[in-house]
């Protein structure tokens, strides 16, 4: 038998299957062409990217000189609220050494060291605050802690004395003379115990007082009492500082010294 053949439009004989191969070859050629175009475009873009000069973003431009800047002011005082614990002294009794009738009373404004507390039989009794209470008559040549306390107190009052000395010197006697003269007493420079009234601080207020005008007093008897007073304030659970600090309490300001947590300034 003879194989049947098809003829194309141009009268050419075409066998079975030759048309499929021709079409497949055409499709492959188109794909390769597209790939070639894509590669060429990519290479062109890449080359342009490499050849074009770099342009720095505006945010990375050169820094400008800053000639001013806003400023603010804030005060810091470092103040801290603390709890202060007071230490209160006991009531102190004032023992008089003069005997007789009180002829003048100067205790209404409290007692001050170096000033007259009262007069007994017309003789001034001078209040005197010494570290060691006066307990005997003193005169030139005497020695002891009570003499040291007297010298130091006379010096504090601005009177002649041998400060820090345990000896009753000529200077001491001169200071005693001036002290008694200011109170209206005559003095040979010795210090009779009857002429002084020991008080525990440079200035005290009197709670009870028996030295009123007309009262009879006896040597060795209590003529007054000084109520307990605050001797110091301590910061509760306080920690010492290397620097001085300022403490304000009830309107009063004092210095808290470095290394301490207590204020013992009597004023």
* Confidence at 8, pLDDT banded by 50, 70, 90: very low
Using alpha carbons, select from 106, 95, 118 the residue that is nearest to residue 185.
118
Give residue 170's pLDDT band: very low, low, confident or very high (50, 70, 90).
very high
Span 60-71, pLDDT tens digits:
566 777 788 787
Q: How confident is the model at residue 59 (pLDDT cuts 50, 70, 90)?
A: low
Res 10: pLDDT: 46
Residue predicted with more confidence, 73 or 147: 147
On the question of pLDDT at 134 being above 80, the answer is yes
Task: Give the confidence band of 27 by pLDDT, cuts at 50, 70, 90.
Answer: low
Burial 53-87 (b: 16+ CB within 10 A, else e): eeeeeeeeeeeeeeeeeeeeeeeeeeeeebebeee
Burial label for 100, CB within 10 Å (0-12, 13-18, 19+), is: middle
| Bridge partners, residue 217, by sequence | 100
Mean pLDDT of the chain: 83
């Amino acid at each position: 038998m003879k194989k049947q053949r098809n003829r194309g439009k141009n009268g050419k004989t075409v066998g079975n299957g030759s048309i499929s191969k021709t079409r497949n070859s055409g499709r492959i050629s188109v794909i390769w062409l597209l790939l070639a175009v894509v590669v060429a475009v990519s290479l062109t873009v890449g080359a342009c990217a490499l050849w074009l000069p770099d342009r720095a973003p505006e945010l990375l431009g050169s820094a400008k000189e800053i000639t001013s800047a806003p400023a603010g002011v804030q005060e810091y005082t470092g103040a801290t609220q603390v709890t202060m614990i007071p230490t209160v002294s006991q009531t102190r009794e004032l023992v008089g050494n003069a005997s007789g009738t009180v002829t003048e009373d100067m205790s209404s404004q409290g007692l001050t060291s170096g000033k007259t507390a009262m007069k007994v039989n017309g003789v001034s009794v001078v209040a005197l605050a010494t570290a060691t209470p006066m307990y005997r008559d003193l005169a030139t040549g005497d020695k002891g802690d009570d003499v040291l306390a007297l010298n130091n107190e006379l010096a504090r009052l601005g009177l002649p004395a041998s400060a820090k000395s345990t000896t009753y010197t000529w200077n001491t006697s001169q200071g005693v003379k001036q002290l008694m003269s200011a109170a209206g007493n005559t003095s040979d420079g010795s210090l009779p115990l009857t002429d002084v009234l020991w008080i525990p601080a440079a200035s005290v207020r009197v709670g009870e007082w028996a030295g009123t005008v007309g009262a009879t007093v006896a040597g060795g008897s209590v003529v007054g009492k000084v109520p307990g007073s605050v001797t110091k304030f301590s910061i509760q659970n306080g920690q010492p500082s290397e620097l001085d600090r300022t403490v304000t309490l009830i309107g009063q300001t004092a210095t808290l010294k470095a290394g301490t947590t207590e204020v013992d300034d009597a004023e």
